[in-house]
Structure 1
Amino acid sequence: MSAENMEVGWLRSQDSAVVHLYRDGKDQYGGQMPEYQGRTELLKDDITDGKVSLRIRDVQPSDDEQYTCFFQSSVSYEEALLELQVTDLGSAPVISVEGHQDGGIRVMCRSSGWYPQPEVRWRDLQGRLLPSASEEITPEANGLFQTEIVIVLTEESNQKVSCFVRNPRLNQERESVISIAELFFPRGNPWMVALGVILPLLAGLTALASYCFWRQRRAKETLQSDKESEKETLLSEREREKEALRSEMERQKAEYEAAKGEFSDVQGLEQRKEQ
């Protein structure tokens, strides 16, 4: 039976909100839920045979719902329920060494982009599960889940372990392995280990402080030297100016004496001529 002239709709089962509606031979978007606007398409290739499909684009974790599909005409009504299960396989676990803790090495495993909430564990190379020091699974802004799990490895325990994150719906997992050499494990009294870390740190800070004081003193000495040099330069310039002024005065005095002598000679000559 053809459904071309029927009302065909997809509703969210929990509240009968409209996900997509077809009526009067065309799609009706007026009452569509805002969350689905621009993301749905009713596939009508087989509508003349009474078959339609709904395509949802850009699937989101919030689309994980139970839906009701119905066909309604003037004389009949039929509906069916469909459960949509959203799933996403997240990123490969990233393992990092965070430092020393409780006489061992603190190792953290992180992964993100999982849906639904995943399972995350540590295990040894034989597949035996290992206890974790802490575990945190939190939702991200996009509705997917991220995980952080910590284990403290000791020299006596396993030094090569794997972190795996498993999607329970897909029954698939991602795994990463880490191996820590013996020389990285703390040995002896924890206070001695702490002292061995603190003393080099203090020595480094002392050397840094000494260098800073030396640089500061050097800068002051350089500044003072520059000032003394500038002062000597100014004094030297003043002495040269005084010397030049003195030479000029002596030159002018000599010229004056010479001119005065010549004037006396001319005056004496004129007096003799008059006699």
Structure 2
Amino acid sequence: MKETYDLHNPEMLNSAVCFIDILGFSSMIEQSCKNNSGNQLLNKLCTSINDNINLINPRTKYSGSIKIFTDNIVIGKPIFEDGESELGSIFLSFSAYQLSLILDGFFVRGGISIGDYYANEHVSFGPALLEAHNIENCIAKTPRIVLSKETKKLVKHHISYYSNPMHAPQVSNIFEDVDGEWFVNYLEAAFQDRDSAGYLHAQKIMEQHRDMVINKISQCKNDQKVLNKYEWVAQYHNHFCKLNFSQNRNLQIQGVNNSGRFKFIS
């Protein structure tokens, strides 16, 4: 079983593929250019991507391929053995990357799929890419990275390895939304450790995330379609805070309907 994409003999491999793009990026470009601040947006984007790219960049040539085109990012990892390592790597790396971009003001959405895929320096190809892009475009809708049906099936198989499913790492890496879709729990990346210092660090991150979401809600309050997307983030934020910072109500975003739409996967 091959572990890497062959540059000299292109061949699709069974892979875990994640496709993401920045929410509302076309509008950002149009608005910034109208305001003569296009170069400021460009510099902000370049700085954010350059500062955070190591979070998802494959460590070795054997660990996958990454492609970036402006606001679109694709990472593919050939599945070796049962795929738990490759999927776990995508969940962890994209959680950290998604959170870092958001703290810079760039909210993203995307899809994760399992299937045939090939990539080299110039090419990104395969049905797994098409499915991941379709999930991002048609299913994600809000700033979330959604898992395909086949990916969910594989994750359920990995969870079955554990005598107590709630001890499986996937349970903290993924949430289930009210529509039944599973998405990457990117706020988990706020925790470097689960000790007292880790909680203090995570609390500071959550304060930044809270303020960024509140700012976005304020900016789009007259556009209900866009507002719904950031209200979703606010609900997710409050749900995560309720689970992890129940004693600190100041972290909650006020005026949000916390309807219990999220739950642990099983």
TMscore range, shorter length: under 0.3
Higher relative contact order (CA 8 A, sep 6+): 2
Which protein is bigger by CA-based radius of gyration?
1
Greater share of residues in strand = 1
TM-score using structure 1 length: 0.25
